[in-house]
Amino acid sequence: MTIAPLLEGFKSYFETFSKFTISTLPLFILLGLLASSGDIYLNSETFFTWGILLFIFTNLFLTPFVTSFCILIVNDLRKNRLKESIGYYIVSFQLVLRVLLLTLINGLVIIGGLLLFIVPGIYLASRLLLSPYFLILEGKGVLESLDLSWQTTKTNQRNYILYLIYYWAALIFVTFFTLSIISAFAISSEPNTNLFFTNSIANAFLSYVQLVLISYPLLFVYKSSKTS
């Protein structure tokens, strides 16, 4: 397996770290605050309904929006042609419903595969790995994006499975590390002292890491597949 696309993605991230982070930081802070608020409200009988609404808004609108926003920005950053932020906000808003639908279809297919002794789920996830990029960067429809990803990953299937495993492994490692720090902080602190603030930072950080992986190394895997 060639790791060149992954290395190029991380190299691009370090080169454009400041521009990417400055452009996206408000969105990740908002994600962190809403996720933490939703968790608190869901555990409250008084504000349970608000917790449901925040959960729906965060996962069904804001997350697809931020995903589109990050991929669009990084695609232009790597070409050194970053535009005004308002343009990315408008385009990302227009893509929200399609990205959400694509994510739901991917999720259902992958979960169905995972229930069939895990291996089919990993295989299906690797074959659909590139579908968000066809939709967001090329303006393809949901079903067409799924089909293009399936066709593109038909060759070198082992590589795409390994790319997927590396992505999942990185997310699991970062999540475990972050939760360990939060747990240590919670044990050593007074009850409820700064926990909301800590959880907000943790949620924002985890979202940031996930979108960095999606917008840099995996984006470069997609770009590499287009030239191979």
* For range 74-90, the mean pLDDT: 90
Structural domain boundaries in the chain: 4-90+157-222
User: Is 25:17 a contact under the CB 8 Å cutoff?
Assistant: no
Over the chain, what is the mean pLDDT?
90
Q: Please say if the pLDDT value at position 38 is more than 60.
A: yes
Residue 192 has pLDDT above 60, yes or no: no
- Between 141 and 113, name the one with better pLDDT: 141
pLDDT score for 186: 64
Q: Would the pLDDT of 178 be above 90? A: no
pTM over 0.85: yes
Q: Is the pLDDT of residue 159 over 90?
A: yes
DSSP character at residue 193: S
CB-count exposure of residue 45 (10 Å: 0-12, 13-18, 19+): exposed
